[in-house]
A = this chain, B = another copy of it.
């Protein structure tokens, strides 16, 4: 049976793709070796540099964000290389497992899935690495499974305090173009991104921003690679082309997305995300529930993960909300499965979309019997009205 009205895609990505981007994708595919493509490619590659805040290359793969994880590792490392990773949650864990699968030797700092990277533990681990065996520190900026954001500049400072030569790699899949991020300014060597979150595109593009140090490491790195190899990319990109067929129509969309973000202004985009996140947390607090994120300084601006009281099945609640209100929420992942749900408030989003979402969550929880202290919706409205 047809469902009337617009679906609310409030998972923390893929996000609601704006019509303008969908329509840009919906244009005839062009010759990826012709002059029109060249113009597009050069414009998009330059635009990505502004989004990542870097003067160095950003490489685009026709792949999901997961592909950019792989690209970051295989382009800079050799089999058996030790990398330092940090268990901020499900996605950090997946990246760690990928590193193992790719023949690396990751050291995984365990954590509680409710806090961000602790810069002191990074510092400590690097200090213990007397022979500088660790070749890379890999952390997730915004852990999509928990709604916790790590303080990347402080991690950089921790590395610098030790003077450790490891590369610094950061996954910004669910933070890029939603929260402030500075590839060059924060001293990151490889930044990993994807198309389907703050960039408001469908999934299918992934990015690695690459520092000069990362490129140097690339030249020595012996991990087998071909599809995700940077060299052929950089060489072809310099002329506005790609070494193999790019995902042309998604690049049409990316071109539109960059223009839209810059029309709004990145600072305004970040402020908008922060404001919606604050309103969502006001709702959670009013309901008398807890966010997965423990530390006020680490709340994500792009999603909020909410813990249900003992005895409630978060997946059953999500199914109920989807069925009754046509609102998709993110599930609890890994050790949060069944215990938490995630509200995505990133990408192309505004106040009535947020309120429609929060109303659906509130109605859903009440219908499901979750005891609520007060109306989170009322609290969120107050929070929104208090700011612009």
Interface positions of A (Cβ within 8 A of B): 1-9, 11, 13-20, 22-23, 25-35, 61-67, 70, 74, 79, 98, 101-103, 194, 196, 202-204, 223-229, 244-250, 260, 263-265, 268-269, 272, 322, 324-328, 331, 348-357, 359-360, 362-363, 366-367, 375, 377-378, 381, 384-385, 388
Which chain B residues border A268 with CB–CB below 8 Å? Answer: 1
- Total copies of the chain: 4
What CA separation (Å) do A79 and B102 show in the bound complex? Answer: 13
- Whether the pair B9, A28 counts as a contact (CB closer than 8 A) is yes
A103 to chain B, nearest CB (A): 5
What CA separation (Å) do A30 and B6 show in the bound complex? Answer: 11
What CA separation (Å) do A1 and B1 show in the bound complex? Answer: 27
A198 to chain B, nearest CB (A): 11
Given contacts A2-B263, A352-B357, contact A25 B25 (CB under 8 A): yes
- Whether the pair B246, A64 counts as a contact (CB closer than 8 A) is yes
Which chain B residues border A65 with CB–CB below 8 Å? Answer: 244-245
Given contacts A62-B204, A328-B34, A357-B352, contact A224 B101 (CB under 8 A): yes
- Whether the pair B356, A359 counts as a contact (CB closer than 8 A) is yes
A9 to chain B, nearest CB (A): 6
What CA separation (Å) do A367 and B5 show in the bound complex? Answer: 28
Q: Would you list the 4 A-B pairs with minimal beta carbon distance, nearest first?
A: A5-B350, A356-B356, A352-B356, A355-B359
- Whether the pair A385, B363 counts as a contact (CB closer than 8 A) is yes
Which chain B residues border A244 with CB–CB below 8 Å? Answer: 64-66
- Whether the pair A272, B4 counts as a contact (CB closer than 8 A) is yes
Which chain B residues border A324 with CB–CB below 8 Å? Answer: 351, 388
- Whether the pair B352, A327 counts as a contact (CB closer than 8 A) is yes
- Whether the pair A17, B29 counts as a contact (CB closer than 8 A) is yes
What CA separation (Å) do A229 and B97 show in the bound complex? Answer: 13
Tell me the nearest residue of chain B to A249, going by C-beta. B202
- Whether the pair B355, A360 counts as a contact (CB closer than 8 A) is yes
What CA separation (Å) do A3 and B348 show in the bound complex? Answer: 9
What CA separation (Å) do A223 and B79 show in the bound complex? Answer: 11
Tell me the nearest residue of chain B to A333, going by C-beta. B33
Which chain B residues border A355 with CB–CB below 8 Å? Answer: 355-356, 359-360, 377
Contact of A16 (CB < 8 Å), options: B22, B28, B66: B28
Which chain B residues border A249 with CB–CB below 8 Å? Answer: 17, 22, 25, 202-204
16 pairs from A and B in contact (CB 8 Å cutoff)? A4-B272, A5-B16, A6-B16, A14-B29, A17-B249, A64-B244, A98-B226, A202-B248, A204-B247, A326-B350, A326-B351, A355-B355, A355-B359, A356-B356, A359-B381, A362-B381
- Whether the pair A265, B227 counts as a contact (CB closer than 8 A) is no
Which chain B residues border A384 with CB–CB below 8 Å? Answer: 363
Contact of A377 (CB < 8 Å), options: B2, B8, B354, B359: B359
- Whether the pair B11, A33 counts as a contact (CB closer than 8 A) is yes
Which chain B residues border A4 with CB–CB below 8 Å? Answer: 264, 269, 272, 348-350
Which chain B residues border A357 with CB–CB below 8 Å? Answer: 352
Given contacts A30-B9, A202-B29, contact A227 B349 (CB under 8 A): no
- Whether the pair B350, A247 counts as a contact (CB closer than 8 A) is no
Tell me the nearest residue of chain B to A70, going by C-beta. B227
What CA separation (Å) do A356 and B228 show in the bound complex? Answer: 39
What CA separation (Å) do A3 and B265 show in the bound complex? Answer: 10
- Whether the pair A63, B227 counts as a contact (CB closer than 8 A) is yes
What CA separation (Å) do A335 and B48 show in the bound complex? Answer: 35
- Whether the pair B28, A26 counts as a contact (CB closer than 8 A) is no
Tell me the nearest residue of chain B to A71, going by C-beta. B227
What CA separation (Å) do A14 and B34 show in the bound complex? Answer: 12
- Whether the pair B356, A64 counts as a contact (CB closer than 8 A) is no
A141 to chain B, nearest CB (A): 17
